[in-house]
Amino acid sequence: MTSLRLGDLAPDFEQDSTEGRIRFHAWLGESWGVLFSHPADFTPVCTTELGRTAKLRDEFARRNVKAIALSVDPVDKHHAWIADINDTQGTELNFPILADADRKVSELYDLIHPNASSTATVRSLFIIDPAKKVRLIITYPASTGRNFDEILRVIDSLQLTDEHSVATPANWKEGDDVVIVPSLQDPALLKQKFPQGWDAVRPYLRYTAAPKRAA
């Protein structure tokens, strides 16, 4: 199949999980989503990642984000793994893990890469917006844990830039100055959108304070 790309509609599916049968688009509703895959249960890096995700529940909720994980092992094995995650990571898992034993979701999301493994999924993460469009794809090596500060940072950037005519510069984080998109040139519209003013370092590089996000 063709690999998913940014802007593609995230494939819908129905699959078993640790929280029952899930129809993905219906489960996502009007929320943003973070779908991330794991090659197998009881793997050390993934254990820490699932624990970290559980601890970030309030941060995801503040951003209207639902998290959902995937592994090709069955539900009963997932539940045994969750007990380990809760015990070793000092948390309570609070999001579903898909049981993709038939590789249905893995195939839809192009998670089986033969050069990495012919049976296990690669460690990819997808950010999906409320319109069910794929907005970010990151694939990690098995030895490197995901940076959840970066995942939250990207969500902050996407939500801010969807709402306002801005982009976020290198190393930007919530609250930092942003740049005005080059396509916005009308002086009256600029003053309307950015009454706080801006610093035009170059005609195409205009810094301004980050606009307030909708509550």
Q: Determine contact, residues 103/71, Cβ cutoff 8 Å.
A: no
The backbone torsions φ and ψ at residue 87, rounded to the nearest 5 degrees and listed phi first, read: -70, -45
* CA–CA distance, 181 with 207 (Å, rounded to integer): 10
Active site residue 57: no
* CA–CA distance, 162 with 199 (Å, rounded to integer): 22
Q: At residue 8, what is the residue type?
A: D
- Which among 22, 28, 35, 46 is annotated as catalytic? 46
* Greatest CA separation for the chain: 61
Sign of CA pseudo-dihedral 143, 149, 150, 154: positive
Residue count (the chain): 215
Q: Which residues are catalytic?
A: 46
